[in-house]
Structure 1
Amino acid sequence: MGRSTKRHRSPVSTAAAAYWALTKPDVNMLVAVIVGIAFCLATTRASRHLQTLVLLNLVLGTLLMAGGSSALNQYIERRSDARMRRISRLPLAAGKLEPIAALCFGLLLSVAGALYLAVAVNALASLLAALASATYLFVYTPLKRITPLCTLAGAFPGAVPPLIGWAAASGSLSLEAWVLYSFLFIWQFPHFMAIAWMHRQDYVRARYRVLPGRSKRITFLKWQTLLPLLIAIPMTSVPTLLGYAGWVYASGSLLLSCLFLCCGVKLVVMRTSCAARRLLFASTIYLPSIFLLLVLDRT
């Protein structure tokens, strides 16, 4: 008999892959990008080259904090996650790691990230990151099993990344920082509604109440999707009105917001997984594009 050509992973590489998956790197990479862009927006052109090391420390500390929060979230929700088909292969849900190991790993990353930000960046950035993590884990996470308004509760800590980046660069929070916060706050509603609609049966199996009962589900979807998208159109013009950005940004952000709204309307009208998938894809393009336009066309 010939030797099998199938490759087997070593226990070390398998464990490393499981711990890596606990941090949800695909999700947290967007967080790091937004933090970095906010940092660049808060940094003056004259001193930007002097703060490259701070930016690298900021991104590293943020990834540690975000990875720790993801691991702790999976520890808390491991039993519910196991009932969801789309995430049942996650390390804890699939039984690839012991819960205590994931708990210790999440705590280690979170504490290390907070301390790293405090020492290598500044105390305000560390405090904001820690506050966002705590609110996400101890307010938003349990509310998912109680009320569909969990999305509103989760939007508050979810919108903190621009504040972290701004605080890292300037040591304070200006009006412009809160404008960026409002962008991310509003963006989360259509983004999550796309996910919730695509995987609504999964959430029911896991007993998460991210959507109300069938009688109110369509109305809830309309409000949570269309109202934020309509608000986003005038909101994205605020940087231009305040003199933070030029008309290239204003034109580009208006076009992007209108296209984003069109995707939201299609979901509300068609209510199919395909329409939800398109809205989700549009949301992942929209947010970094708006922030990058601000960087490129800042006055």
Structure 2
Amino acid sequence: MSAMNEAARSLTRAAARARFADFLELTKPRVTALVLVTTLVGFYLASQGPMDLLLLLNTLVGTALVAAGTSALNQYVEREEDGRMARTRLRPLPAGRLDPAHALIFASAASVTGLLHLAFTVNLLTAGLAALTLLSYVFVYTPLKRKTSLCTLVGAIPGALPPLGGWTAAHGEIAAGGIALFAILFVWQLPHALAIAILYRDDYARGGFRLLPIVDPDGGTTGRQIMAHCLVLLPLSLVPTMLDVTGPFYFYGALVLGLGLTACAVPILLNASARAARRMLLASVVYLPLLLCLMAFDRTVPPLR
């Protein structure tokens, strides 16, 4: 009897772990982690001298909850489309491992809790930016993916808001340095997202999405846009030094990184193949953390504006 009870308890624990893992998957942990890193960099760059660690903790907790809730809401809204795509059909909702109603309750609770936490422990401006991130991602970008290839431009807005939220959390207001961070993250997402869309073009088409590589089968327009975005990002990434937010070490490091990223866009400009897209994706994934590390390493203390 005791052996049977122990077996039952083991099964219960295994089921609880599996359910926890499914709810965790709803939050897209890697995306949430990137959101927190960019928020941290924004907070650090805007801090006047040493960081207020309690304020930073509250900022990260609130931001994490909103980011997790936003990702979960996105998966709730797109559960049918996810079920048609190979790369997403095993997610908890399309696979039937979670009840959609439970996922919606979880997503809503995380989002509301995060927004309230930011409003009461950080400031209303940062909470407002987090709310804008959620609303623009779930209720504007997500439905636009099924209607127009311009959705990538719209989706880059919520993706670029977290570092601005980190800036306002530490600085209390929107300033030129925070806007520069927003602009850099906004433009960086465009070649990154288009490279992913090339790689998973057929899958996205099965899901009913109208991303640029789907409506541009020969890839000519996609390649030109990727190159154009890289060329815009190159001088834009130098702006933090011009604003005295970062120093000369960052300036020259960002210049080298930008030239490298632009060089990786040349093959995709000539032929938007999966191989060229994979190289572009890898370059963009390497570029951003290195750029953020350079920003943090060569911060000007205190920032002048």
TM-score by length of 1: 0.92
Give the direction of change, closer, same or farther, for the CA distance of 1:97–1:269 in structure 2 (3 Å limit): same
In 2, Cα distance between equivalents of 1:261 and 1:109: 39
Cα displacement (A) at 1:14 = 1.1
Partner of 1:161: 162
Residues of 1 paired with 2:242 and 2:44: CA distance? 20
1:163-202 counterparts in 2 under 5 A? 163-202=164-203
AA partner of residue 249 (structure 2): V
Cα distance in 2 for residues equivalent to 1:160 and 1:129: 8
Counterpart for residue 24 of structure 1: 28
The CA distance in 2 between the partners of 1:267 and 1:93, in whole Å, is: 33
Of 38, 43, 46, the match for 2:42: 38
Offset at 1:214?
5.4
> Does residue 1:274 correspond to 2:275, yes or no?
yes
Q: Distance in 2 between matches of 1:172 and 1:88?
A: 42
Q: Distance in 1 between matches of 2:96 and 2:195?
A: 28
Measure the CA separation in 2 of the matches of 1:215 and 1:104: 38
Q: Quick one: distance in 1 between partners of 2:96 and 2:265?
A: 37
* In structure 2, distance between residues paired with 1:62 and 1:276: 31
Farther off after superposition, 196-205 or 231-240: 231-240
| TM-superposed deviation, 1:292 | 2.0
Residue of structure 2 equivalent to 1:289: 290
Q: Displacement of 1:294 after TM fit?
A: 1.6
- SS of 1:261's equivalent in the other structure is helix
Q: Supply the distance in 2 between the matched residues of 1:54 and 1:196 (Cα, whole angstroms).
A: 37
Rounded to whole Å, the distance in 1 between the matches of 2:147 and 2:115 is 30
Distance 1:201 1:179 in 2: 35
Counterpart of 1:18, as a letter, is: D
Indicate the larger mover: 162-171 or 279-288.
279-288
Report the Cα offset of residue 124 of structure 1. Answer: 0.9
Consecutive unaligned residues of structure 1, counting only runs of 5 or more, are: 1-6
Confirm or deny: 8 A CA contact 1:211 1:217 kept in the other structure.
no
Query: What does residue 7 of structure 2 align with?
Result: none
> 1:214 and 1:76, CA in 2 relative to 1: closer, same or farther beyond 3 A?
closer
1:122 to partner: Cα distance = 1.3
Distance change in 2, residues 1:270/1:213 (3 Å): closer
Provide the rounded CA distance (Å) in 2 between the counterparts of 1:211 and 1:238.
29
Q: Aligned partners of 1:79 and 1:209: how far apart in 2?
A: 16
Give the aligned residue type for 1:226. Answer: M
Letter in 2 for 1:76: V
Calculate the TM-score normalised by the size of structure 2.
Answer: 0.91
Report matched runs for 1:64-75 at 5 Å. Answer: 64-75=65-76
Report the more deviating stretch, 29-38 or 287-296: 287-296
Partners of 2:267 and 2:117 in 1: how far apart? 44
Tell me the distance in 2 between the aligned counterparts of 1:244 and 1:13. Answer: 45
Please say if 1:245 is aligned against 2:249: no
Residue-pair matches, total: 290
Correspondence 1:210 to 2:214: no
Alignment check: 8 A CA contact 2:268 2:276 kept: yes
The one-letter amino acid of 1:161's match is: P
Segment drifting more, 172-181 vs 9-18? 9-18
Name whichever of 286-295 and 202-211 sits farther off: 286-295
Distance 2:276 2:152 in 1: 20
Partner AA of 1:70 in structure 2: S
| 3-state SS of 1:94 partner | coil
CA shift at 1:215, angstroms?
5.3
Residue of structure 2 equivalent to 1:4: none
- Matched letter for residue 21 of structure 1: E
User: Cα gap change, 1:145/1:33 in structure 2, threshold over 3 Å: closer, same or farther?
Assistant: same
CA distance in 2, matches of 1:275, 1:62: 34
Deviations 1:223-280 (A, max 9, x none): 3311110011111121222333222111100111111112222233343323322222
Aligned to 1:120: 121
Q: Which amino acid aligns with 1:227?
A: A
Aligned equivalents of 1:214, 1:126: Cα separation in 2: 37
Amino acid at match of 2:34: L
> Does the CA contact (< 8 Å) of 2:222 and 2:272 recur in 1?
no
Q: Which residue of 2 aligns with 1:3?
A: none
Gap runs ≥5 in structure 2: 1-9, 301-305
Q: Cα RMSD over matched residues? A: 1.6
The one-letter amino acid of 1:133's match is L
What do the CA deviations read for 1:164-197 (whole angstroms, capped 9, x no partner)?
0011001101011101110001001001011101
